[in-house]
């Protein structure tokens, strides 16, 4: 990676994927079952909406990350493929029950839930998220739940409501390094607010559920800036970290500055672990929910099996 001072502005797009980035086609008997349940219950997934390269692998293994509060986001980040549109305060009251039914039907040990940002709602959607967690626990009490939440507009009351009966893992993505955050993320998001909500979650949870975050690479960050972000996340009490390659969803989105090699990912993973994270997943196709259950198990083991 180049030093921050030597990076060109704007970065030149890199169109051809390197040889180490390969996505396998879907297969196996579980893939159509997952797809069928999602269609039958009318549920969206971040796997589809964000064009995740791991969709074939995860769905073929019976895993999917369910997107809550619809599939249209109120924010526009330059890296994200999710559609931007205001829902004008509308919330589907049947969604929590439908999500719980999908989890029950799959018989999952571990489920990841995420959300679109809903700045049109006073609580950012916290009530809907909390109800979904409660309903899953009612019909599938042994399923461990990871919730990848937005910042809820920095609303502390909304976060307190969400954390009153928290999921097993509370995740919120920092996304990128401090210098690039204003360029890449919607103006309503910020590097410091993300750290603040992660700190709130950890403070509310104490020694209970774990916290998690994610960073995209290849957007023009330097290794020194990444190491500073690692320290900031650990200072906020974050337990788990994922590092993955940014892939441009379309020509209208932010251009890729660099394709980070698998060797660089391994080096950065070692540096992150040295900062004290309980678990780190790092690689070109790693995303926030990649191998989420296994990463959670590592955090529990590091905490002595609590």
pLDDT of residue 49: 41
Using pLDDT thresholds of 50, 70 and 90, give the confidence band for residue 94.
very high
**Does residue 247 carry a pLDDT above 80?**
yes
The DSSP bridge partners found for residue 106 are none
CA distance 287 to 302: 22
Using pLDDT thresholds of 50, 70 and 90, give the confidence band for residue 228.
very high
What is the DSSP secondary-structure string of 209-250?
SEEEEEEEESSS--HHHHHHHHHHHHHTT--EEEEEE---SS
Whole-angstrom distance between the N-terminal and C-terminal Cα of the chain? 38
> 28-61, pLDDT tens digit by residue?
545 555 556 556 656 554 444 445 555 555 544 5
Higher pLDDT, 105 or 27: 105
> 106-152, pLDDT tens digit by residue?
787 888 999 999 999 999 999 999 999 999 999 999 998 999 999 99
CA distance 238 to 276: 9
Q: Which residues contact 304 (CB under 8 A, 6 or more apart)?
A: none
pLDDT of residue 11: 45
CATH entry, 22-302, from 3.40.50.300, 3.20.20.70, 3.50.50.60, 1.10.3720.10: 3.20.20.70
pLDDT of residue 288: 81
Note the pTM of the prediction, 2 decimals: 0.85
The mean per-residue pLDDT over the stretch 195-204 comes to 90
Are 152 and 162 in contact, with CB atoms under 8 Å apart?
yes
Share of the chain above pLDDT 70, in %: 78
């Amino acid at each position: 990676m180049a030093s921050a001072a030597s990076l060109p502005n704007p970065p030149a797009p890199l169109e051809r994927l390197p040889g180490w980035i390969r996505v396998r086609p879907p297969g196996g008997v579980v893939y159509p079952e997952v797809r069928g349940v999602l269609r039958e219950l009318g549920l969206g997934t971040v796997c589809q909406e964000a064009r995740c390269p791991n969709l074939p692998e995860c769905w073929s293994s019976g895993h999917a990350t369910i997107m809550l509060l619809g599939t249209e986001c109120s924010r526009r980040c330059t890296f994200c493929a999710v559609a931007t549109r205001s829902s004008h305060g509308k919330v589907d009251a049947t969604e929590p029950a439908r999500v719980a039914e999908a989890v029950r039907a799959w018989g999952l040990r571990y489920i990841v839930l995420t959300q679109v940002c809903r700045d049109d709602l006073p609580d950012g959607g916290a009530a809907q998220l909390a109800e979904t967690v409660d309903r899953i626990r009612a019909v599938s009490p042994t399923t461990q739940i990871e919730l990848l939440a937005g910042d809820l507009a920095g609303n502390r009351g909304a976060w307190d409501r969400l954390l009153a009966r928290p999921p097993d893992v509370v995740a919120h993505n920092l996304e990128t390094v401090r210098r690039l955050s204003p360029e890449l993320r919607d103006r309503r998001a910020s590097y410091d607010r993300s750290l603040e909500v992660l700190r709130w979650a950890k403070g509310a949870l104490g020694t209970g559920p774990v916290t998690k975050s994610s960073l995209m690479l290849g957007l023009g960050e330097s290794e020194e800036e990444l190491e500073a972000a690692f320290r900031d996340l650990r200072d906020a009490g974050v337990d788990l970290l994922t590092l993955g390659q940014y892939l441009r969803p379309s020509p209208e989105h932010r251009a890729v500055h660099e394709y980070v090699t698998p060797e660089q990912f391994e080096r950065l993973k070692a540096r992150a672990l040295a900062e004290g994270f309980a678990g780190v997943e790092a690689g070109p196709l790693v995303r926030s929910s990649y191998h989420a259950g296994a990463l959670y198990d590592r955090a529990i083991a590091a905490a002595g099996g609590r």
